């Protein structure tokens, strides 16, 4: 029987689970009338959050799920500092710009000490800022030529959904290069065929969400150079490095994808993914100061100083940026290399373990991609389950391993994906492999029967 509050105060010596707060259900629809004891309320909310499961076992997310203790301390100390209050918190503002210059250096900007950039709440906001700069530069160019500016388009390979949002919100046609079986990233020929004088830019992705693969950035840039020579179309590039921009510089430093390519004008990245920072940290950096249109910069003076801002969000805590700076200083290039290389080694270990089972084809194993594994069932699979069934079975053991179909023209291919992030150890992967083997054996004993329509997947997917 549920208890209701009767107005009696809970005594300090009572066990927390005998308190009035824990004897009632948590309020869901009405704003509470009375105040409550802090520790009791904390226990109630804490216990509800157990239902979320263990974030460390969430192998669907690209985001950081492990942080060392010093990051927690800095987050606690900085959660009350507003990033937009640059006059009140000048050192936090200074730290943000230090990170921008460090990233410009990491990504080989020719003017890393003076280039422009900013922190954001994540890579999606950063991507939109990069896209806006491309549109503004294209519009200015077309106006000078006396040409219409009402039909801009953006050419991409397989991109994250934020680019579809950007195109819709800012009234831009998005032209996406298709995929085909065995080729899940854009080719230079596909990109060039989609470009015209109304193309504001080309977006290449360093770590495609569905396949984990890197777009061939240098090859695409070379094709655009050729297009400019032949047709006079000078089309800039933006690199969505949400994950790869914090991987390639450390593990594949000879891979040319960044500001070493003059056509690359801006790069966005997620600090809270393979940048290892806590959630809520993104970055966008322009190659040179002149690549960021001044019309996109706003100045506010009601906070005590005339301060520039060009993020989409306004108030947000400074802790994530401060934690990012700590990680840059703490790890340096060598520390990041060790961590990221370990992730790649673990991905290869997992891919090899799946191959040994004989019923999976590996689409990505961390080679020229994000550290992770994408796989599908092959012709040797027993037919007693599909990958949606496997995802559901693994979830019963706490693992979040998404199953989903590949993009248009390959929607008949269902895959599963695991991301190997900092903190996903070989030991944990052994447990995952054991659970996969156990699930296969269970499906052999208890086959899952599917109607055709069920194969679109109503089970756990991502």
State the 10-residue block means of pLDDT for the chain, 462 residues long.
Answer: 49 77 88 91 92 91 93 94 85 94 97 92 94 96 97 96 94 95 93 98 96 97 98 98 97 98 98 96 95 83 63 86 98 98 98 98 94 97 95 95 93 96 96 98 90 42 40
pLDDT given for residue 302 in this prediction: 55
Both 12 and 116 in one domain: the answer is no
In a domain, 296, yes or no: yes
**pLDDT (0 to 100) of residue 72:** 95
Is 413 among the domain residues?
no
For residues 224 and 321, state if they share a domain: yes
Q: What is the pLDDT of residue 310?
A: 79
Q: Is residue 254 one of the residues assigned to a domain?
A: yes
Domain match, 33 and 75 both: no
Q: Are residues 17 and 112 in the same domain?
A: no
CB-based contacts of 89-95 (< 8 A; 24+ apart in sequence): 89/318, 92/318, 92/321, 92/322, 93/307, 95/321, 95/322, 95/325
Pair 115, 159 in one domain: yes
Query: Do 11 and 79 fall within a single domain?
Result: no
Instruction: Please report the pLDDT score of residue 344 as a whole number.
Output: 98
Same domain, 31 and 101: no
Within this chain, do residues 23 and 128 fall inside the same structural domain, yes or no?
A: no
The domain total for the chain is 2
* Domain coverage including residue 245: 70-330
Residues 236, 297, single domain; the answer is yes
Full DSSP string of 58-78: B-S--S-----HHHHHHHHHH
Q: What is the pLDDT of residue 9?
A: 52
Q: Which structure tokens are listed for 220? A: 């695409």
What pLDDT is stored for residue 301 in this prediction?
Answer: 65
* Residue from 198, 202, 192 nearest 223 by CA: 192
Q: Angle between the 319-357 and 69-78 helix axes, to the nearest 10 degrees?
A: 140
Are 26 and 83 part of one and the same domain? no
Q: What is the pLDDT of residue 305?
A: 60
C-alpha span between 115 and 109 (Å, rounded): 8
Regarding whether 302 and 175 lie in a shared domain, the answer is yes
Long-range contacts of 330-337 (CB under 8 A, 24+ apart): 330/70, 331/276, 333/106, 333/249, 333/250, 336/246, 336/250, 336/276, 337/250, 337/251
Per-residue pLDDT, 306: 61
Question: What CATH number should be reported for the domain holding residue 152?
Answer: 3.40.640.10
Q: What is the pLDDT of residue 350?
A: 98
């Amino acid at each position: 029987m549920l208890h209701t509050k009767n107005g009696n105060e809970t005594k300090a010596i009572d066990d927390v689970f005998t308190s009035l707060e824990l004897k009632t259900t948590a309020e869901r629809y009405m704003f509470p009338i009375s105040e409550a004891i802090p520790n009791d309320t904390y226990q109630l909310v804490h216990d509800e959050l157990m239902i979320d499961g263990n974030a460390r076992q969430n192998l669907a997310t690209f985001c950081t799920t492990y942080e060392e203790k010093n990051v927690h301390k800095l987050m606690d100390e900085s959660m009350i500092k507003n990033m937009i209050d640059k006059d009140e918190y000048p050192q936090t503002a200074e730290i943000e710009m230090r990170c921008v210059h460090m990233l410009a250096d990491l990504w080989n900007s020719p003017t890393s000490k003076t280039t422009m950039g900013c922190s954001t709440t994540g890579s999606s906001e950063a991507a939109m800022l990069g896209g806006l700069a491309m549109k503004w530069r294209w519009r200015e160019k077309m106006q000078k030529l006396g040409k219409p500016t009402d039909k801009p388009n953006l050419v991409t390979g397989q991109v994250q959904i934020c680019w579809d949002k950007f195109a819709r919100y800012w009234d831009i046609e998005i032209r996406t290069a298709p995929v085909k079986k065995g080729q899940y990233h854009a080719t230079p020929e596909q990109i060039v065929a989609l470009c015209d004088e109304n193309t504001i830019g080309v977006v290449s992705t360093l770590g495609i969400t569905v396949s984990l693969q890197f777009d061939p950035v240098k090859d695409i840039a070379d094709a655009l150079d050729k297009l400019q020579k032949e047709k006079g179309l000078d089309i800039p590039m933006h690199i969505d490095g949400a994950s790869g921009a914090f991987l390639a510089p450390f593990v594949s430093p000879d891979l040319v994808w960044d500001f070493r390519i003059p056509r690359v004008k801006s790069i966005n990245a997620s600090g809270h993914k393979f940048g290892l920072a806590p959630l809520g940290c993104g970055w966008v950096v322009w190659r040179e100061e002149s690549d960021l249109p001044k019309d996109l910069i706003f100045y506010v003076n009601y906070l005590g100083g005339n301060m520039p801002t060009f993020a989409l969000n306004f108030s947000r805590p400074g802790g994530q940026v401060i934690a990012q700076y700590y990680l840059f200083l703490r790890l340096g290039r060598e520390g990041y290399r060790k961590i990221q290389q370990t992730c790649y080694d673990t991905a290869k270990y997992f891919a090899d373990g799946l191959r040994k089972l004989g019923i999976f084809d590996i689409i990505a194993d961390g080679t020229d991609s994000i550290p992770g594994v994408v796989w599908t069932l092959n012709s040797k699979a027993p037919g007693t389950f599909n990958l949606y069934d496997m995802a559901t079975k693994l979830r019963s053991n706490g693992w979040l391993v998404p199953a989903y179909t590949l993009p248009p023209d390959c929607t008949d291919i269902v895959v599963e994906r695991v991301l190997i992030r900092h903190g996903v150890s070989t030991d944990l992967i052994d447990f995952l492999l054991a659970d996969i083997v156990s699930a296969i054996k269970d499906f052999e004993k208890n086959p899952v029967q599917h109607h055709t329509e069920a194969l679109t997947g109503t089970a756990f997917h991502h």
